[in-house]
Structure 1
């Protein structure tokens, strides 16, 4: 009789440091049984992660499911397999496999079983061995182009206008802002999410991936949900999943805060941003609106601000970006200008953000944001 095993039956764990280098996630799908003399599992390798040297008594077959998988043998031969390729390793061959230096990868492993054994682990692949193996392939690396998240804009069909926009966006607005490439990359993605602009976001994501941690990108999208709504964020989640899959990027799930702790944890964060007066502000709300105040503490701040991947100071800066990009939320914008000041993001930092985003949000929203900044922290002569 046939059996069906669902995801709840699969065992999942991180590769141990004695058998792997770097971050490796392993999911066991099935093991050998009375009629099946092999096991199956999916292994995700982050960039530069790899297995130790090892052999298989009954051989192994790998189907690359994401990104690229590099493999080397004791005789010095190194190969790279791409998504859809199959690697066949005969019994007894000493080898290793893992990801390349800049792109992660994953494979489905079908490993033969002989007398109850399917692998013999040996010494780890040192950094020197790994780097030598990678460099032995000597791929023709393309010349690294200058950072430009607008490089694939449809404006390229009109070269003159593309040059005009590109010069203002990158040579004037971005450079005048003084923001670093990682800072600018994150506020740009956040702004595009608030604006609901998926195509420019997908183009920008291609340029910023090498400058940002994937976890930070995920958190930018998640934190946008309570400010711009899930309906607007969904398309960006899909575009990001597609880009991550193409790059072989696999992010581990984060454990949430226990339900009973969400409200208190969120209120603690609110106090750090807005001060102790937040409790009085909540208490003064009409009784039929009290539940909204509770939602803000438990959901907006407890569920999202409390997550890992971005520090609290930068999360508050992102909120300023969401609000200025949305437009029409003056009171909330002013409140979060003050929240940013409380968190150490001064007037200069806020104006730098507005400066960098003018080409994206336009002058009306930019000037409105400057008015909010001036209302809370007037310019000094």
Structure 2
């Protein structure tokens, strides 16, 4: 049996839930729950709703549909709103791609229907086809600086469209949406990138972007900590290394 603290934290997410794995794999459940729902949480300061949001983002990036659907239920149980959950899924499209996100759109809708939540949820777009490029460029400058401007200025003619896409699609279509603030969107992007692996340059860029929007190094380390049980040690330790590269601790002089 998981210890009392782990059981309490698990019950907060899944009240009255009877796990079949407790019957088929009791030793594993004891090990995992004690670690993920007690020991790990002792080293993180994230409030529960934010922890659930970044966990959902990570599960999408890793293609863990069944665990994601379970965690959507848990997120709703602790007060994450349907709009916020849908925005997490939409935010994943420019980073994981629709090929990976499509099943999670349907999975989310299935959970919502089971909970009696009406879809579609309230619209959150703030741009139009006429304004998305301008608003996206303004937004990307606020979050990541002049990187897209430099890309537009220096890229060969047959590659400039990637910079345009970053401005009007990635930031103009998604980051300008309501439902989640920019700080949360950057944390979600960070969680997705470290979870999918193979995107170290982008991880570094979004570590700096997180700092630009006011998210601290400690918050990024807290996210890595709570995701460890789900993403494993290799990606966790890589993420810690990248955070330290971009945001080195200040040396304390004697």
Could you tell me which residue of structure 1 aligns to residue 46 of structure 2?
179
Deviation at 1:369, TM superposition (A): 0.7
- Asked if structure 2 preserves the Cα contact closer than 8 Å seen for 1:324 and 1:365, the reply is yes
C-alpha deviations, 1:313-371, integer Å up to 9, x for none?
11011110110001011100000000001111111110000001000000110111111
Query: Equivalents in 2 of 1:213, 1:179: separation in Å?
Result: 18
What does 1:280-299 align with in structure 2 at a 5 Å threshold?
A: 280-299=150-169
C-alpha deviations, 1:139-173, integer Å up to 9, x for none?
xxxxx972246967664321111010011111011
C-alpha deviations, 1:98-135, integer Å up to 9, x for none?
xxxxxxxxxxxxxxxxxxxxxxxxxxxxxxxxxxxxxx
Change (3 A) 1:376 1:154: farther
Query: Equivalents in 2 of 1:312, 1:371: separation in Å?
Result: 24
Q: Which structure exhibits the higher relative contact order, with contacts defined as CA atoms closer than 8 Å and separated by 6 or more residues?
A: 2
Query: Equivalents in 2 of 1:145, 1:166: separation in Å?
Result: 8
Structure 1 residue 228 corresponds to structure 2 residue 96: yes
C-alpha deviations, 1:236-267, integer Å up to 9, x for none?
11111111112221223345521121111111
Could you tell me which residue of structure 1 aligns to residue 130 of structure 2?
260
Q: CA RMSD in A?
A: 2.0
- Where is the strand percentage greater, Structure 1 or Structure 2? 1
Instruction: Look up the SS of the partner of 1:217 in the other structure.
Output: helix
Query: Equivalents in 1 of 2:93, 2:232: separation in Å?
Result: 23
Deviation at 1:277, TM superposition (A): 4.7
What does 1:180-259 align with in structure 2 at a 5 Å threshold?
A: 180-210=47-77, 211-250=79-118, 251-255=121-125, 257-259=127-129
Could you tell me which residue of structure 2 aligns to residue 67 of structure 1?
none
Change (3 A) 1:231 1:154: farther
Could you tell me which residue of structure 1 aligns to residue 176 of structure 2?
306
Could you tell me which residue of structure 1 aligns to residue 11 of structure 2?
146
* Aligned with residue 368 of structure 1, among 222, 238, 242: 238
Could you tell me which residue of structure 1 aligns to residue 219 of structure 2?
349
- Where is the helix percentage greater, Structure 1 or Structure 2? 2
- Asked if structure 2 preserves the Cα contact closer than 8 Å seen for 1:173 and 1:357, the reply is no
Change (3 A) 1:246 1:291: same
Change (3 A) 1:145 1:173: closer
Query: Equivalents in 2 of 1:162, 1:303: separation in Å?
Result: 41
What does 1:59-208 align with in structure 2 at a 5 Å threshold?
A: 146-148=11-13, 155-156=21-22, 157-208=24-75
Change (3 A) 1:229 1:145: closer
Could you tell me which residue of structure 2 aligns to residue 318 of structure 1?
188
When normalised by structure 2's length, the TM-score is 0.88
- Asked if structure 1 preserves the Cα contact closer than 8 Å seen for 2:143 and 2:209, the reply is yes
Larger radius of gyration: 1
Query: Equivalents in 2 of 1:311, 1:238: separation in Å?
Result: 24
Could you tell me which residue of structure 2 aligns to residue 330 of structure 1?
200
Query: Equivalents in 2 of 1:198, 1:221: separation in Å?
Result: 12
Change (3 A) 1:364 1:281: same
Q: Which runs of 5+ in 2 are unaligned?
A: 1-8
Query: Equivalents in 2 of 1:255, 1:356: separation in Å?
Result: 30
Count of aligned pairs = 238
Could you tell me which residue of structure 1 aligns to residue 3 of structure 2?
none
